[in-house]
Structure 1
Amino acid sequence: MKWARFLVALAATLAVAACDAARTPPAGAPTRSAPAASPSHSAGITLAFAGDVHFAGRTADLLRDPATAFGSISSALSAADLTMVNLETAVTTRGTPEPKEFHFRAPASVYDAVKAAGVDVVSIANNHALDYGLTGLTDTMDAARNAGMPFVGAGADAAAAYRPWITEIRGTRIAVLGFSQVSELWEEWKATDTRAGIAMTRDLPRAVAAVRDARRQASVVVVYVHWGTEGEACPPDEARAFAAEMAEAGATIVVGTHAHLLLGDGWLGNTFVQYGLGNFLWWRDDAYSNDTGVLRVTLDGSRVSKTELLPATISRRTGQPELAGAADAARIRREYAGLHACTGLAASPGPLR
């Protein structure tokens, strides 16, 4: 099934390339550098993670053809054994807007788009899944189930919201969980024993218990968190403290989004932590940054053996992420390496301090 999506993505990429060839600029016109070659895959299981996705503003019209909504980046997403993004929108036509500034919603075809791009699971633990209240959240989850799209981070009650999605790839069991650390409306939006909602980091005992339980069921545990401070390239103390709790509880990989920027990565003991993947398929030309990427993590059994960021930039015309050309890729890699300094993370795995 993953291979079939890859072929669809490849066909879409070739079609775009053919159109670009037909629009060759005249001599002397500015030209874009060719995309950097994607590094070759090493042996093992590959996981791919990308940032925040929603279909509003300039990206809304992309759903007219869900099969090509993500554009050429789909080849990088489909190539991994497991791919995950943060779906930062309510998927509904109903509900009442919540008392907040920004509201996002999309039709159910959003799930056709993420599936066609090669995404295997989405987190809906974020500060927009309940933009249209519990009615909108219920519709979001129902539409995902109808589309056959696994999701984490929300549920009809706390037991469901904190429950991992578990899959097995070539004999390795992988558990995936989603949490939000955004403070806005968190008390009203958190899942409880009697109310639907989102899995929140601020319910720390429940979050820790969920990761420990997942670790008993799987040899690899992925924790995807919506956290950080918008516009800040260094993780706040709250995010760093939660990452430490996740490492102690048995998480293998902790990744996050929300700040609209790329943040740094590193190690807490043998837990790989990535603090911010930035915007990905995005509704407007962002004042913070249009730099983004696909984080590719290679597993050797249950151990992380390699991590790398495939640099990308968000098209100012379509809002689609595109693998960066040579100059931008070099710049993003250089800047990304510098972000490690303020993470408090080690440069390599080792004993948990």
Structure 2
Amino acid sequence: MRVMFGGDVMLGRIVKEYILLHGPQYPLGPVAGLMRAADLTIVNLECAITASAHIWPGAPKAFYFGAPPQAIASLADAGVDLVSLANNHVLDYGVAGLHDTLRLLREHGIAQAGAGEQLAQAATPAIVERAGLRFGMAAFCDHQADFAARKDSPGMAYLDMADEAAALAAWADALAALRREQVDWPILSLHWGPNMVWRPSARFRRLAHGAIDMGWKILFGHSAHVFQGIELYRGCPILYAAGDLVDDYYVDPAFSNDHQLLIEIELDRSTVRGIFLHPVFIEDCQVRPASGERLRRIVATMTALCRELGTTVNAAGVLVLSKM
């Protein structure tokens, strides 16, 4: 089985204009074949998909990300099966924008975790079955507390991860729900931490290890807008930050955040067999396979970051994490 992870997918703002001009296949088209070839493809959807023009009525934000309704085809045509909605942009276009997003995902057969009509739904993991294997994903976010789902109101699954005990308790509850459903591969999706940070904090490493110790098998982190090193802890992959997959963000020269990755995990019923990293490059609101100097730069950066976490990277067209 091959499971593909992409980081933040932002289809609003300037990306929206490219979609309206060139069609919904434009943002992910050059890597859509690679994504469709996986048995299961998962991304963090960092925008609402909606026709609504009414932004979140709460405290003003610097950025509001809203994709047009046809952007759902951007995901579907790229083979996206499951998205995380626990992030600080899912309610940028208010409750109506969230409702539209949930409806469009349902209509196109794309599962989601991390948001819902009330807290119980937002905290409920999604379950997807492929070739007899059951995958379950719960999703949480540690910023924008006013987007939090409540007992009787819509929103996303918010967690203050500075309270480590509370975070671990919430993850234990979600894991228990997946165990009742006899899930083979529980995946914990976390939209956490600050932007433009190459390395996870000591607290995040401690929390990640705690999640694996309790029984999560894959940790899928995102939010930093750059990739971080991957750690293999007790045989389980910790993707501290998967970076971005497509966006229109300013490219910071110190971080080169247009240099990114798709992460593919090969596994069987109980064991990770390999992790393959596919370097990509974001240009003109489109993600493309990286080549030449761009590929070499991504390889060198990821090799160094993984080495710090005790993971060896070998380059062979794609990157293979060899420590299993």
Give TM class, smaller chain: 0.7 to 0.9
Per the TM alignment, residue 56 of structure 1 is displaced from its structure 2 partner at its CA by 2.9
- Which whole-Å CA distance do the structure 1 matches of 2:202 and 2:53 have between them? 37
Contact 2:27 2:246 in 1 (8 A): no
Match of 1:206 among 170, 175, 178: 170
Match of 1:110 among 52, 55, 71: 71
Contact 1:55 1:106 in 2 (8 A): yes
Contact 1:268 1:345 in 2 (8 A): no
* 1:20-169 matched pairs, under 5 angstroms: 45-64=1-20, 65-92=23-50, 93-97=52-56, 98-99=58-59, 100-169=61-130
The letter of the residue matching 1:56 is G
Q: Which residue of structure 2 lines up, in the alignment, with residue 247 of structure 1?
A: 212
Percent identity reads 29
Q: 1:195 to 1:343 in 2, by over 3 A?
A: farther
Per the TM alignment, residue 341 of structure 1 is displaced from its structure 2 partner at its CA by 4.7
Per the TM alignment, residue 70 of structure 1 is displaced from its structure 2 partner at its CA by 1.3
**Deviations 1:188-218, CA, capped at 9 Å, x for gaps:** 2222322222113335222321023213420
- Which whole-Å CA distance do the structure 2 matches of 1:148 and 1:273 have between them? 27
Contact 2:16 2:68 in 1 (8 A): no
Q: TM-score, normalized by length of structure 2?
A: 0.85
Secondary structure of 1:175 counterpart: strand
Per the TM alignment, residue 94 of structure 1 is displaced from its structure 2 partner at its CA by 4.5
- Which whole-Å CA distance do the structure 2 matches of 1:189 and 1:237 have between them? 26
- Which whole-Å CA distance do the structure 2 matches of 1:242 and 1:134 have between them? 31
**Deviations 1:155-208, CA, capped at 9 Å, x for gaps:** 1122211212212222111112221122xx31x222232222211333522232
Q: TM-score, normalized by length of structure 1?
A: 0.79
Moved more, 194-203 or 248-257: 194-203
The letter of the residue matching 1:145 is R
Q: Which residue of structure 1 lines up, in the alignment, with residue 238 of structure 2?
A: 273
Q: Which residue of structure 2 lines up, in the alignment, with residue 189 of structure 1?
A: 147
Matched, 1:225 2:190: yes
The letter of the residue matching 1:221 is P
Per the TM alignment, residue 91 of structure 1 is displaced from its structure 2 partner at its CA by 2.1
Q: Which residue of structure 2 lines up, in the alignment, with residue 295 of structure 1?
A: 263
Q: 1:281 to 1:106 in 2, by over 3 A?
A: same
Contact 2:136 2:187 in 1 (8 A): yes
Q: Which residue of structure 2 lines up, in the alignment, with residue 180 of structure 1?
A: 141
Q: 1:306 to 1:215 in 2, by over 3 A?
A: farther
Secondary structure of 1:242 counterpart: helix
Q: Which residue of structure 1 lines up, in the alignment, with residue 319 of structure 2?
A: none
Structure 2 runs not aligned, ≥5 long: 161-165, 313-321
Per the TM alignment, residue 348 of structure 1 is displaced from its structure 2 partner at its CA by 4.1
Contact 2:13 2:65 in 1 (8 A): no
Contact 1:208 1:245 in 2 (8 A): no
The letter of the residue matching 1:47 is V
Secondary structure of 1:67 counterpart: coil
Structure number with higher strand proportion: 2
Secondary structure of 1:167 counterpart: strand
- Which whole-Å CA distance do the structure 2 matches of 1:102 and 1:112 have between them? 23
Give the CA RMSD over aligned residues: 2.1
- Which whole-Å CA distance do the structure 2 matches of 1:302 and 1:156 have between them? 34
Contact 1:313 1:322 in 2 (8 A): yes
Q: Which residue of structure 1 lines up, in the alignment, with residue 287 of structure 2?
A: 321
Per the TM alignment, residue 320 of structure 1 is displaced from its structure 2 partner at its CA by 1.2
Matched, 1:340 2:296: no
Q: How many residues align?
A: 300
Per the TM alignment, residue 129 of structure 1 is displaced from its structure 2 partner at its CA by 0.6
Moved more, 52-61 or 124-133: 52-61
- Which whole-Å CA distance do the structure 2 matches of 1:192 and 1:122 have between them? 21
Matched, 1:306 2:265: no
Q: 1:232 to 1:67 in 2, by over 3 A?
A: closer
- Which whole-Å CA distance do the structure 1 matches of 2:132 and 2:103 have between them? 30
- Which whole-Å CA distance do the structure 2 matches of 1:129 and 1:303 have between them? 33
The letter of the residue matching 1:230 is N
Contact 1:162 1:207 in 2 (8 A): no
